[in-house]
Every structure is written in C-alpha cells, then in structure tokens.
A = this chain, B = another copy of it.
Amino acid sequence: MSTASDEKAGPVTGPTAGRPARGRPARYTKDGLLELVVKVFNERGYEAASMEDLAKASGFTKSTFYHHVSGKEELLRMAVDRALDALSAALDDTMAHRDQPVEQLETAIRRTTEVLLAELPYVTLLLRVRGNTTIEKDALARRRAIDARLAALVAAAVDAGQIRGDIDPRLVSRLLFGMVNSVTEWYRPGSRSTSQSAIVNATVNLAMEGLGARRAPESAR
C-alpha cells in the first residue's frame, strides 16, 4: 500500500475464477481489492457507497469483507495516497531534470496528464475529496503542496520570459491544471475514439498554444 505500482505478486488480480464459490468465494491481492473498491467509490460516490455495496461487489459478505479491510476510511486513504504518490513522483522526476523553466512546465503538464490517465480511478477519487474527515484533510493538504509546486513552475517560466506574463501565474496554474484534471470527468479507459497519447498531446498543445486563432487586438469588456 506504500507506493503506487507495487503489486503484491502472482497472476491474481480479480476473483480467482468465474462464480465466487461458497465457502471459498473469492481471492484478491491487496491492490486488486483496492481497485475494485475504488471503482465502486467512483461509481456511487464515496459517501454514498456503503460497506455492503463494497462487500457485494467483491463477492464477500459484509462481515467477511471487514475481516479483510480495516474500514471505509482506511480504504479511502490507501486510494488517495496511491494517486498522490504517483503525482508527486512525476513532479519530482520533472524537476530533477534541470531544463529550461518552460520545458519543465511542459513536461509537468505532460507527465501529470499521463499519471492521471495511468492512475485514473485513484486520481478521480482524489479530485472528488472535499475534506471533512482527517484523512480527507490530509489528502487536500498534500494536493495543495503539489499545486504550489506547479504554480512555482509557471512563475519560474514567466520570470525567465519564456511564457506570457500578463496573467497571474497562480491563476494560469489553476486553469491549466484544472484543464488537465478535467479529463477525469469524461475519459473512460478503452475508449477507441480517443487514445491516451492523443489526450496527452492535446493537453500539452492547447496549454502551450491555445486554439491558435488569429485574434483582433483585445481590450475592454
């Protein structure tokens, strides 16, 4: 549960085979069970998803389900931590290369979008967290830290004169990564009409160049 990609082992990722037989109904890896739980969280909403929903989706009874997991909040924590770890790692990696600020910014947009697509259910859940419990507030704090690093990247590129400086860098950062994050609202894996690489390239290109319209000199209104 510590990092994003460590599978426990073996070929088992879902129910062992077909029907959950009685007596020995289903078997999951930790990650396999988490994946299923997050799917239900995203479909029904975290609050609205009951432990009975989760148990039924896994093929366990509610009580057996409790034997495998510690509680609803802990499931949420594992899920959002996975998203936050992946996003942080991508950003660490981006800033490890001492490129030009504008190149770092472009890489950050690209890598963030890639992580979002690779860890879609976990990031989706993370972005819907609104922060009542301690776990949610911790997740929001980690998110804010990431947002601050992204905003700093924008500011650095402005200071270097490599991108436009007529908009507040924090506002630019919010809008740009708001665009990136909005992908969770509609993308569904396996969509034949829109490949992941097309989404990544579109996000980067729209961020850097916009619609590319020739515009009349704008002023008031």
User: A interface vs B, CB < 8 Å?
Assistant: 44-45, 47-48, 102, 105-106, 110, 128, 130, 132, 157, 162-164, 166-168, 171-172, 174-176, 178-179, 181-183, 185-186, 194, 198-199, 201-203, 205-215, 218, 221
A176 / chain B contacts, CB cutoff of 8 Å: 179, 206, 211
Residues in B with CB closer than 8 Å to A171 are 194, 198-199, 202
Interface pair A194/B178, CB less than 8 Å apart: no
A208 contacts B213, C-beta separation under 8 Å: yes
The answer to whether B175 touches A178 (Cβ under 8 A) is no
Q: Do A211 and B172 touch across chains, with their CB atoms under 8 A apart?
A: yes
Known: A132-B44, A179-B176. A194 touches B211 (CB 8 A): no
Number of copies: 2
Contacts of A198 in B (CB 8 A): 167-168, 171
Known: A167-B202, A176-B206, A206-B172. Contact between A102 and B182, CB under 8 A?
A: no
> Please, how many angstroms separate the alpha-carbon atoms of A213 and B157 in the complex?
9
**A187 to chain B: closest residue by CB:** B174
Closest-by-CB residue of B relative to A221 is B110
Beta-carbon contact of A208 and B211 below 8 Å: yes
**Known A-B contacts A47-B45, A202-B171; A212 and B181 likewise in contact (beta carbons under 8 Å):** no
Q: Is the CB of B174 within 8 A of A213?
A: no
Chain B residue numbers with a CB within 8 Å of A208 are 210-211, 213, 215
Contact (A175, B168) CB under 8 Å given A208-B215, A210-B207, A213-B102: no
A205:B130 contact, CB within 8 angstroms: no
Known: A171-B202, A175-B202, A182-B175. A164 touches B212 (CB 8 A): yes
